[in-house]
C-alpha cells in the first residue's frame, strides 16, 4: 500500500487507493502525483498559513475515487525545510521533469501557489520540451500571481515568464478585478499576458482555449482553488468573494486535458485549517478526477 492512500474496499481494483502504485524510475506513462508541502510562499505573501497539509488531504479525498482506466503512481512529497523554498522548488522540479521524461501526466499537489514555479521549472527541464518549443500556461485563479520581488505564492508566473521569455505564454482565467491592484494588471499587459475576469466567465471560453492550444506545443494548467466561490472552496489561503462556478472550471479543465498537449497540472492553495467538512479537498479531488478522466496523451 502506498502511504497516504486508504479507503473503502468493495471489489478488487475499483477505487484509486486500490490501484495506485509507488513511482519508480522504471515507471512509464500513466498519471503521477507529486506533493509539494509548503507554507513558505503563502507566509511570504502574507496569506493564511496551512497549505502544507494539502497533499495529505488530497490523497485522502482521492482514495475513494472510482478508477478511470489510467494507471496511477505516487512520487511522494517534497517538503520545504524551514524557509528554504527555492531549494525545495528545485527538488520538486527534478521529480516533475523525470515524470515528464517518462511521458506521464504529472500532477502536482500543493502547497501554496509557489508550487507553480517549481512545476514550470520541471517542465522546462524535461526532455519533452525541445529548443524552440512553445509553452502555454493556463492559470485558473482569482489572482494574477505576477508580483515581482522575493519569490512567494504571489510571484510564480512572473518568475516563469522571466525565465521563459517569448517561448512562454500566460493566460489567467477567473481573475478578480476587485482583488488585484492596477499595477498587477499593468504588469500583465506589459508582459503580454492574457486574462479573463471572473465576472466574464459565465461559460467556458472554448474558442479562446482552442486558439491558446493551437499556439503552443506543451500546456501547463494550474488550478488555484481560490478561483472557486468560497461556498464551494472555503479552505484556501485567500477566499474569493465571487469566484467562477464549478461547472465552468470543470469544462475548462476537461477541455485542456483533452487537447493532447497537457503535460502538467497542479492544484494549489488548499488550506486544511479552514476547510469545512473537507469540502475544498473533496472538490479538488473531483476536479483532479475530471482531468485524469479526460486526459489524452500526445
Binding interface with Mn ion (CB under 5 A): 113, 141, 143, 145, 224
The residue among 53 and 141 lying less far from Mn ion, judged by its C-beta, is 141
Q: Cβ 58 to Mn ion, closest distance in Å?
A: 17
Q: Are 113 and 269 in contact (CB under 8 A)?
A: yes
The residue among 31 and 51 lying less far from Mn ion, judged by its C-beta, is 51
Q: Cβ 247 to Mn ion, closest distance in Å?
A: 21
The residue among 77 and 145 lying less far from Mn ion, judged by its C-beta, is 145
Q: Are 228 and 270 in contact (CB under 8 A)?
A: no
Q: Cβ 119 to Mn ion, closest distance in Å?
A: 12
The rounded distance, in Å, linking the Cα atoms of 15 and 18 is 5
The residue among 143 and 282 lying less far from Mn ion, judged by its C-beta, is 143
Cell numbers 504588469 correspond to what residue?
187
The candidate with the shortest Cα–Cα distance to 134, out of 167, 170, 100, is 167
The x, y and z cell numbers of residue 47, run together, are 496569506
The residue among 32 and 144 lying less far from Mn ion, judged by its C-beta, is 144
Q: Cβ 47 to Mn ion, closest distance in Å?
A: 9
The x, y and z cell numbers of residue 76, run together, are 511522494
The x, y and z cell numbers of residue 232, run together, are 464551494
Q: Cβ 238 to Mn ion, closest distance in Å?
A: 8
Q: How far is CA 71 from the centre of its chain?
A: 19
The residue among 88 and 129 lying less far from Mn ion, judged by its C-beta, is 88
The rounded distance, in Å, linking the Cα atoms of 209 and 203 is 12
Count CB neighbours of 168 within 10 A. 22
The rounded distance, in Å, linking the Cα atoms of 94 and 262 is 18
Q: Cβ 156 to Mn ion, closest distance in Å?
A: 8
CA Rg value for the chain: 17
Amino acid at each position: 500500500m502506498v502511504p497516504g492512500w486508504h479507503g473503502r474496499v468493495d471489489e478488487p481494483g475499483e477505487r484509486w487507493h486500490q490501484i495506485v502504485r509507488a513511482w519508480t524510475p522504471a515507471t512509464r506513462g500513466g498519471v503521477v502525483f507529486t506533493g509539494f508541502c509548503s507554507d513558505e510562499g503563502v507566509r511570504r505573501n502574507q496569506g493564511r498559513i496551512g497549505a502544507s497539509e494539502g497533499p495529505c488531504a488530497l490523497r485522502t479525498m482521492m482514495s475513494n475515487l472510482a478508477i478511470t482506466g489510467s494507471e496511477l503512481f505516487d512520487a511522494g512529497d517534497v517538503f520545504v525545510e524551514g524557509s528554504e523554498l527555492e531549494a525545495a522548488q528545485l527538488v520538486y522540479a527534478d521529480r516533475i521533469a523525470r515524470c515528464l521524461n517518462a511521458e506521464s501526466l504529472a500532477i502536482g499537489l500543493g502547497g501554496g501557489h509557489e508550487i507553480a514555479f517549481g512545476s514550470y521549472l520541471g517542465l522546462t527541464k524535461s526532455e519533452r520540451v525541445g529548443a524552440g518549443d512553445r509553452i502555454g500556461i493556463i492559470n485558473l485563479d482569482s489572482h494574477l500571481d505576477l508580483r515581482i520581488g522575493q519569490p512567494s505564492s504571489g510571484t510564480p508566473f512572473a518568475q516563469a515568464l522571466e525565465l521563459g521569455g517569448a517561448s512562454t505564454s500566460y493566460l489567467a482565467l477567473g481573475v478578480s478585478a476587485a482583488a488585484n491592484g492596477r499595477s498587477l494588471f499593468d504588469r500583465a499587459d506589459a508582459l503580454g499576458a492574457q486574462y479573463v475576469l471572473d465576472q466574464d466567465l459565465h461559460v467556458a471560453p472554448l474558442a479562446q482555449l482552442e486558439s491558446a492550444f493551437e499556439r503552443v506545443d506543451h500546456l501547463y494548467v494550474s488550478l488555484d482553488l481560490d478561483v472557486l466561490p468560497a461556498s464551494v472552496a472555503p479552505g484556501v489561503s485567500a477566499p474569493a468573494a465571487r469566484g467562477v462556478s464549478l461547472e465552468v472550471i470543470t469544462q475548462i479543465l476537461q477541455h485542456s486535458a483533452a487537447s493532447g498537449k497537457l503535460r502538467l497540472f497542479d492544484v494549489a492553495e488548499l488550506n486544511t485549517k479552514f476547510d469545512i467538512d473537507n469540502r475544498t479537498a473533496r472538490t479538488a479531488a473531483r476536479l483532479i478526477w475530471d482531468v485524469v478522466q479526460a486526459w489524452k496523451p500526445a
